[in-house]
A and B are shown apart, each in its own frame.
Chain A
């Protein structure tokens, strides 16, 4: 199965199960969880199921394309199911079958893994999913996002696309993956990976990035105060990316590191709180169960 077919198969599998198929969000991020389709949609009582492929950037993980499976940029396939359905694990196993991983042929295991994202004020419980000893998916029941406890709880499924594809194509490194018949993963992404490794480790202008961080923080805080939730949250994502590059560049000391994480978290929390308030003010329109909607609006004061 080609890399692009893996994405297409997962998209059609989850589309057929009622998920909105969104496209990647156009701001740099370290994980698909940052995408507002997960971060903001997981908040509040409105049901929402979504699937999308997400390019992720983790500058510190760049290895100039030389490490077989550690890259500074890679893909996740992200599924958010809210509320978490009772048969969510069966649905997930069905998706593995759909891409050609037959549970009868492999040893599939759910190994405890408690997920936590300090810069997002988020945590959840779940598993790493192992196939024959290799982690291919992170499965999490979100309990809290942006410092806010969730009700209903959403299930997040994050597939490591390259790893699954390495398995399906029986190759040992990202660079050897076939994207389609004509092109390899390396053909598509290797140049960027090498250049960004140089940028992230050696070339990034730290003074400029520190300034950008401050600017995005100030701008985001200002926008959030005005109730412009999504533009404000974009600033939070951008500040977070500046931090990630500065971190890869070795420009942030251990003590300062924690302080920057807290600054990002503060913005993420404000965005989360503003988002819930705003959706509530709108009357939680996507919550179509009327009795539940009235309950979640705090009984009777629905507009």
Chain B
């Protein structure tokens, strides 16, 4: 059997259509699976005015299922004489069988009574009708609405529903609309309705005849090819913009690319301003000239076949000129002042309650960026001066006219203005790049100056918000603090930056206004928040316990973490690994207990004491100390060189000595001096392993 289902609506939000049609398909596929109803290919269609799905080769009836349901334990099901109890009778009655039909099922927890429950397959029409009826409320619209007197919600009002299983109309309805056999074509290029007598009728072809291309992919290809051809025919080299195609595809049912030109005088405006104006406000595609400049062309995708395209082109051209005129006005106004002169205007812009103005924030970023420059790039003395300057200017474009008009150009326009003002190239570049990475697909900043400003900016956001108690919880993260934390981490990982995270956060906290930085646990909270994101980030590449093991010892050596994780993963494959990890766990646990006792008693930690041969009682103690001490220098140089496979091998080499030690010696010797000496020896072992990773955190077989 075949299903054809369509929801016909008023124009849906373009950005939500792809997700919606996917939800529709998934909902039906899951319903079929739950009912064990077989089916073939699932095709989806979507336009601004419809969401549709067609499912092929649906079985007439779902398959039957047999499952054994468990009841009470046998002990409770039969009395001492072996007669069924009330519990057994109740269970049998609930499953619709006689007590004699009850089974006995042996499980790992004991013997239970059970019953075979057979569920017959349901007819396709029944399964699908129920699934369709429930799909209307299954969409996760960003915002949904009611209309007329109705109380049902959808993204926009629904006008028609088609629900056909072969030739049969399924009794589905929503918001007062009964499912029928008819839909509508293009809003202006067709009239009347389109009727489907059978689900096998060619949906796409009938709609095409009514000037609707129902397939998203087909519309997308048509737009891609049409925009490309139109811009080329006008002598431009198209700037490919898949993101814009993804949006435009859901603004039209019948794409008709059209092309126009604008006065070349507008190309004096920074290119980003032009393209943003064209793209964001008008959804126009742009092109370049042969020499890489922006061409004075625009291409848009209309939804109409008109008698005279010149009318539509002229109308669009007029709107664009009005916008470009605005942009040029703001640009010229902006250029009457230097970027530097705008810094004072930031004093009027409040950043956040108690954190002062954006000018205050820029001053904090300046201080931290300078600190980072000396910390991370001490061998490049120019970085500090440039980072300080870039930090001073990095927010100044927020009070420019162009950013007021086009907020998404923050940073970009700052760079253009700084360059035009004669600021150093490194400074101008960093003003734009300090916002990076803007998302998961954006690269972290690359230049030293941009790195310093970017880290300072993100740290100020994070520590500032935490100081105000604005800590993300659940999915609520209104200040995008997770994104800031991930930005910091990706920058450190990808750009090979080593710093003491806690110390850095403490520096940022100390710079906050008033006593905000004194909030109890502020440094620890921010650090733990960042480390959580770190474990998450690395958890996408390595198992959780490995990530925990490496992060535990190297939070101040972020760039080494990936190499450590890879080496530890390889080390774990070694046959000796599990017993070695168990031995290290034993070392760690013994020391933990001893350290706690020492701390409680106010003693110096035995585990950190000197190992003295005078208290050795067995040969194995001396040889273990010798092995560890001989290994440490090579271990340190291998760690410094990030050769963690070598580090792992060196540590595995300590295994025989550790094994012998535990075989032959009791750590808790009667003589306290001997005991302390043994704890010190274990401390030495712990030190060696922790240079690499805390392998006591690794899950082992049989542990």
Contact = CB atoms under 8 A, between A and B. Distances in A.
Interface stretch (B148-156, B269-277, B647-655): B148-156
B315 A132 contact: yes
A133 interface: yes
B446 interface: no
A110 B303 CA distance: 11
B120 to A, nearest CB: 42
Contacts of B300: 133
Given A107-B302, A110-B11, A133-B300, A151 B146 contact: yes
A125 B159 contact: no
B361 to A, nearest CB: 14
A290 interface: no
B14 interface: yes
Interface string A60-79: 00000000110000000000
Given A143-B145, A151-B146, A104 B306 contact: yes
Contacts of B303: 107-109
Interface string A216-257: 000000000000000000000000000000000000011100
Given A106-B306, A110-B10, A133 B311 contact: no
A110 B252 CA distance: 10
A109 B322 contact: no
A280 B318 CA distance: 50
Secondary structure of the B side of the interface?
loop
A132 B11 contact: no
A109 B251 contact: yes
B319 A153 contact: no
Interface in B331-382: 348-350, 353
B350 A253 contact: yes
B90 interface: no
Contacts of A85: 148
Given A112-B11, A253-B348, A84 B315 contact: no
A127 B157 CA distance: 13
Contacts of B282: 133
Contact of B11 (A127, A131, A152, A153): A127
B100 interface: no
Interface in B120-146: 143-146
A133 B315 contact: yes
B407 to A, nearest CB: 15
B315 A134 contact: yes
A13 interface: no
Residues of A in contact with B, size category: 35 or more
Nearest to A150: B146
B11 A105 contact: no
A86 B160 CA distance: 11
B315 A104 contact: no
A172 B304 contact: no
B149 A151 contact: yes
B479 interface: no
A123 B311 CA distance: 35
A260 interface: no
Contact of A152 (B149, B308, B325): B149
Interface in B281-329: 282, 300, 302-304, 306-308, 311-312, 314-316, 318-320, 322, 325
B311 A105 contact: yes
Given A89-B10, A132-B311, A151-B146, A107 B318 contact: no
Given A104-B306, A106-B312, A151-B151, A86 B11 contact: no
Contact of B350 (A83, A89, A132, A255): A255
A292 B282 CA distance: 45
B312 A132 contact: yes
Contacts of A292: 149
Contacts of A141: 145-147, 157
5 contacts: A68-B322, A86-B159, A131-B315, A141-B146, A153-B146
Q: Closest 4 A-B residue pairs measured CB to CB? A: A132-B315, A133-B316, A110-B11, A112-B13
